[in-house]
Amino acid sequence: MRKVERALAWFDETDFARHHPAMLRAVLLDLAGVVYDGEAPIAGSAEAISRLRAAGLPVRFVSNTTRTPRRALVEQLAGLGISVADHEVITPAGAAIAWLKKNHRTPHLAVHPKLVPEFDGPQFQGRPAVVLGDGGESFDYGVLNGAFRQLMAGADFLALANNRVFKDSDGQPSLDAGAFVAALEFATGVKATVIGKPAPEFFRAALENMDCKPEQAAMVGDDAESDVAGALAAGLKTALLVRTGKYRAGDETRFQPPPTVVVEDLAAAVDWLLANG
């Protein structure tokens, strides 16, 4: 029994990385549009994640959602039969909190009400920094004008994400945070620091969480710009685009760098990674 336990222990994330320096050592997965679509799992996604884990590949779930707290994402995945630890889910809100603390700033929040509690626990100090995300129906002129006035008074500007669109719960595309980021940049002349994808630091932080170098990792996403081109620009070895979620025909030709390969779904992506990693 002890021999079996020792053999299994070899497959922890650090040991796998150390013993396979030239191989694919880690996989980053987007959530919405890759693992699930709305409230429903995408067929084969849970089994695909299990296959990655069985192969000894550590996984991190890198989501650009700015509406849902990390704890809720963990619970949502559990409800789909996918068990993950808190540290395996990387979100822009977590990255923003780390930035605010490191740079001694206090957040002025322009985010969805569900995300506000994420910022309640940490102790902040220093001058303001506007933190902008997708506020959904809570966004109105007053919220944006309040952020505008803070920026005009000298606040820093953090964009939790800069995506153009997302696939909404009704299956249709909706405006994402990028449009509001652009509006405030235009009005104030202040350039936002993007915290989530496609910021290289976001991908690298997820990989540092696994002690993995970018060139030894792969990304799987449904957004050719933020997920795929962003990951490749950050130095990742491989980025796969799936034809689920927000994908639209021709997306693979619209942004540079282009995807390593385009596949039908996460199950097909894992097939490709295990065969070519």
Average pLDDT over residues 63-77: 93
The whole-number average pLDDT for the span 109-114 is 94
User: Does residue 243 surpass a pLDDT of 70?
Assistant: yes
This prediction's pTM: 0.83
153-164: per-residue pLDDT in tens?
Answer: 999 999 999 888
Go through the domains of the chain in sequence order and give each one's CATH number. 2-64+198-276 (3.40.50.1000), 93-194 (3.40.50.1000)
Q: Which residues pair with 193 in a beta bridge?
A: 158
What is residue 59's three-state secondary structure?
Answer: strand
Contact predicate 135/110, CB 8 Å: yes
Query: In the numeric block, which tokens belong to residue 28?
Result: 């980053």
Report residue 206 as tokens.
């997820």
**DSSP string of 111-155, one letter each residue:** S-GGGGGGGTSS---SSEEEEE---GGG--HHHHHHHHHHHHTT-
Calculate mean pLDDT across residues 200-228: 95
For 10-29, the pLDDT digits (tens) are 345 445 444 444 589 999 99
